[in-house]
Amino acid sequence: MAKLQQLADLVGGEVSGDAEIEIGQVAPIDKAQAGDITFVANPKYLPQLKSCQASAVILSPGIDVSGQNLLICANPYLAFAKILTFLQVSPRPVKGIMPGALVSESAVVDPAATIYPGCVIGERVTIGSGTTLYPGVAVYADVTIGEDCVVHANVVIREGCHLHDRVILQPAAVIGSDGFGFAPDGAKYYKIPQVGVVVLEDDVEIGANTSIDRAALGVTLIRRGTKIDNLVQIGHNVEVGEDCILVSQSGIAGSSKVGNHCTFGGQAAIAGHLTIGDNVMIGGRGGATGNVAPNQILSGLPLMPHKKWLRATMTLPKLPEMRKDMQQMQKRLDELEALLKEK
């Protein structure tokens, strides 16, 4: 519970209307009741405000809305996130090593960490202050986990991998599985040992059932602030830059390097041994088969500028018709040529 002025101070915004009104929680515009605050990040929802019961609305400056208490700020979506965090997220209680957690004697767990039952912590592991491991997390030997990390249930972190601070792993994510490397030996394949590790830098988040393979030699590296969704595949020796967004079911094959601030849509794919520049956006199901220069918005397989791809795919359903038209045109050409020969 907070007064509207208090929330405005939190997000660096200004109040228009009753600054003293009490706000209990955040609610979407179509469900908000008295005591709630809602937000409009997309102007197309503005008409819904008329019938909205919320006690206050988070809005961008310069929009004329009468009869509502407003919290006006430059980035309403960010303000919404911060207010939601403030009002509705409780700090995780520190519970220490709970009964039923199996911690190796040589592991060092900070007293302000929480290890739930069913976790198994290997030899020489270190776990920092404020970090929580939910039930069933398996941490192999020589792993280091920093401060204020959240590792959800049934995550696996294999030997020697490193998590820096404030890393979040959703349930059943796998960090440090063997890379997919085999040397052909006649018809059979010989397994190439994968003796490298994975490093997840500060503020990285990894989705549920996502796999990040350890390097064959060296490091698979996810840099600071990058967010990876569910069911994503990161191959061995990949490097992903800072503040990237990798949407669900996308994949990056072995040894590719991705720049900073890239965004890959759902089911997108990057082939192996490529370099993707900074600020590259690849649309859903786009596929990179060659290096990509920075600062582009691309889609398709092969990749092309997104707008070109939109036009190209619009043409796809017309292909059979185009083929028929061409056959007709060829007939007409044949006839014209015959006619001209006669003359």
Query: Which residue do the tokens 């290096």 mark?
Result: 291
- Contacting range for a second copy; rule: CB under 8 A; set: 13-21, 58-66, 107-115, 241-249: 241-249
- Give the amino acid at 244: C
Q: Closer to a second copy at the Cβ: 45 or 64?
A: 45
Give the DSSP letter of residue 113: -
How many CB atoms sit inside 10 A of residue 276's CB? 25
* 196: phi then psi, degrees, rounded to nearest 5: -85, -170
Among 62, 93, 105, 319, binds a second copy (CB under 8 A): 319
Q: Does 84 bind a second copy (CB under 8 A)?
A: yes
Among 5, 68, 126, 267, binds a second copy (CB under 8 A): 267
Q: Does 285 bind a second copy (CB under 8 A)?
A: yes
Q: Closer to a second copy at the Cβ: 21 or 271?
A: 271
Q: Does 20 bind a second copy (CB under 8 A)?
A: no
Q: Closer to a second copy at the Cβ: 50 or 311?
A: 311
Q: Closer to a second copy at the Cβ: 20 or 318?
A: 318
- Report the DSSP beta bridge partners of residue 200: 163, 222
Structure tokens at 203: 């503020």
Q: Does 14 bind a second copy (CB under 8 A)?
A: no
Between CA 240 and CA 77 the distance in angstroms is 26
- Contacting range for a second copy; rule: CB under 8 A; set: 13-21, 48-56, 63-71, 203-211: 203-211
Is 236 an annotated catalytic residue? Answer: yes
Q: Does 1 bind a second copy (CB under 8 A)?
A: no
In terms of Cα–Cα distance, which of 123, 121, 154, 126 is closest to 139?
121
How many CB atoms sit inside 10 A of residue 300's CB? 18
Residues of this chain, 153-192, that bind a second copy according to CB under 8 A = 153-154, 156, 158, 168, 170-172, 174, 177-178, 180-185, 187-192
- Contacting range for a second copy; rule: CB under 8 A; set: 46-54, 56-64, 124-132, 213-221: 213-221
Residues of this chain, 38-77, that bind a second copy according to CB under 8 A = 75, 77
* 288: phi then psi, degrees, rounded to nearest 5: -90, 120
Among 9, 60, 63, 135, binds a second copy (CB under 8 A): 135
* Cis? peptide before 43, omega within 30° of 0: no
Distances (CA, A) of 70 to 132, 162, 253, 312: 37, 45, 48, 44
Structure tokens at 46: 């503005």
Minimum distance from residue 25 beta carbon to a second copy (Å): 9
Among 13, 17, 146, 235, binds a second copy (CB under 8 A): 235
Distances (CA, A) of 210 to 95, 207, 253, 306: 27, 6, 14, 27
- Contacting range for a second copy; rule: CB under 8 A; set: 45-53, 60-68, 123-131, 244-252: 244-252
* 79: phi then psi, degrees, rounded to nearest 5: -65, -45
